[in-house]
Structure 1
């Protein structure tokens, strides 16, 4: 998509909310730990691990 750090703040001007949400879901699905190009386009927190969930 070619956004990168320079154009990151203007992403919402060229993509709809639905498109941005889809991009976020794809990023989270393919990189759940947010280790690939972390923070380049989205500021995602790493997904919670099963070990992080307290037992009930």
Structure 2
């Protein structure tokens, strides 16, 4: 498996106050991923999210 570059939202400043549009705790970066080493695996995540109910309750 060759090295790959991906787009990722990386948390740089945990604990910033809401609204996050103003405090910007996440930075979009393009890190390079190295192939898994001995005893490691590569997992592809097809989708992720929260139920609307969880977002409203937050």
Please give the range of the TM-score, normalised by the shorter of the 2 chains: under 0.3
- Larger Cα-atom Rg: 2
Please report the TM-score for the alignment, with normalisation by the length of structure 1. 0.22
Higher strand share: 2
Higher helix share: 1
